[in-house]
Structure 1
């Protein structure tokens, strides 16, 4: 088709264009421009459609329209619009509709490429917030969603200038990426914990299993007893999961938490006597003071 269009165009070089044809072409161009302007004017309304997680058909339509009109925005409006859309897109990563899940993840990757300058720094936080949900969706039951999540993770690695993430995204292995993510952003451990809790209730078995495993991994990286206890309580519900895959993962995670608790207790029992002996063997400062001449 493209070749045939090119051939026709080349044959018309040097020939006069009929005034009627020129007029028709101009009217078509004006019509297209007018349509584009109308869509641009509707951009805020279309973006507002993403606030609702109700009608999946409406959401899918809004996502498709945004994908087409974002490149038409002026440069000074493109960055802020892309940044404003990003958190709304994350709401739909876990939609019941696989079409909405795929479109929202693809558009999230799309908007990362539109952000520059001052908006890029703001967008980085949105990208960090999206990483763990994308990791979970590497095991999405719909292959097209899993593929979209993998590509978005690779692009996020490029956006964040994080080569290790790009390399791991090529393997599409959630466990390895989860460990890398936790090691890179330990200060966000509690945020990761709250994000993971959502997936304990996922209708997808593999996502629930991965959430349980990641909570166990978090438990291996924190030293706060309160956080460990929070994880243990959060896993009590999935312990009764109908899926043997999930319930066995809970048992494994709880076992790892208990082993870590026992190791911490033994370490404390070993360190306290040493500290006490060291304290007793150190002469008191008062005893070390030389006596003043009477």
Structure 2
């Protein structure tokens, strides 16, 4: 019932505005559980009120910050409310202050809540466009860790969002953003073999954008033409010094749950091995013996 209520924008805003007016009269028993409830109600209520500016909301949140994620059910319900509220451009500007904390929680959350947080990120960043490069950089650093999530929806959402945020860096953050993009190339290539078609498609599209962000025109033709393994060959030819790093990134995928991804990892490592020095080849052989 609460999930359904929190998913209806007009009803949710009306209820939250009423709660804000009567919040001081709510007789909540003293205790950490009820303090969390009160904090989450106040958080959502302030977001829903048009007379509260982003600066005022940020001040309240930073001053009264409470460990609201400790109750799993309450946290999940609050995230549902944030998804609904983040659909509004004005509210999205306020929610921006919450994103660093949500990004921090992202890695330890279970898949259901990860999906909700990704939807919040997508809504907020979609409204803000290029106005918050530092948050885009934070997301670009953390999203690749979700490319291998057990949930295909989380994989697809994280890859699609990554594609959007890597284009949002300003000149101050471009160097670090390109570094993050380079670190994502192997996972994106391998997930082009994902058994879920929408994930494979999202991976290809993200790789295309990554090539543009890196200004690798020499790679763009093969990417656009869906010549995946020719793309990998060109990548390795151009960036031979990173061959060992690419191999190390690929190694965990040999244990991947999906056969198609495991096979892609084997092929990728085979291509990359051509560009390894003798020492690296010996190390690779020892690793495969251990497997």
TM-score computed with the length of structure 2 as normaliser:
0.66
Instruction: Indicate conservation of the 8 Å contact 1:138/1:173, yes or no.
Output: no
Between the aligned partners of 1:162 and 1:234, the Cα distance in structure 2 is 32
Query: Which one of 158, 165, 170 corresponds to residue 104 of structure 1?
Result: 158
Between the aligned partners of 1:37 and 1:156, the Cα distance in structure 2 is 27
Query: Which one of 180, 185, 208 corresponds to residue 239 of structure 2?
Result: 185
Between the aligned partners of 1:118 and 1:33, the Cα distance in structure 2 is 26
Using the TM superposition, give the Cα deviation of residue 70 of structure 1 relative to its aligned residue in structure 2, in angstroms.
Answer: 1.9
Residue ranges of structure 2 left out of the alignment (5+ in a row): 1-47, 53-87
* Structure-2 change in CA distance of 1:38 and 1:29 (3 Å): closer
* Structure-2 change in CA distance of 1:162 and 1:204 (3 Å): same
Instruction: Indicate conservation of the 8 Å contact 1:196/1:215, yes or no.
Output: yes
Instruction: Indicate conservation of the 8 Å contact 1:135/1:177, yes or no.
Output: no
Query: Which one of 112, 115, 121 corresponds to residue 60 of structure 1?
Result: 115
TM-score computed with the length of structure 1 as normaliser:
0.65
Q: Does 1:39 align with 2:95?
A: yes
Q: Does 1:235 align with 2:291?
A: no
Using the TM superposition, give the Cα deviation of residue 74 of structure 1 relative to its aligned residue in structure 2, in angstroms.
Answer: 8.9
Instruction: Indicate conservation of the 8 Å contact 2:169/2:177, yes or no.
Output: yes
Runs of 4+ in 1 over 3 A off after TM superposition: 27-38, 71-76
* Structure-2 change in CA distance of 1:237 and 1:102 (3 Å): farther
* Structure-2 change in CA distance of 1:228 and 1:83 (3 Å): same
Compare CA radii of gyration and give the structure with the larger one.
Answer: 1
Q: Does 1:120 align with 2:174?
A: yes
Larger RCO: 1 or 2 (CA < 8 Å, sep 6+):
2
CA deviation vs aligned residue, 1:119-153 (integer Å, no higher than 9, x gap): 11210011111111101111110000011011111
Using the TM superposition, give the Cα deviation of residue 71 of structure 1 relative to its aligned residue in structure 2, in angstroms.
Answer: 4.2
Residue ranges of structure 1 left out of the alignment (5+ in a row): 1-26, 239-294
Instruction: Indicate conservation of the 8 Å contact 1:134/1:150, yes or no.
Output: yes
Between the aligned partners of 2:267 and 2:158, the Cα distance in structure 1 is 26
The CA RMSD measured in Å over matched residues stands at 2.4
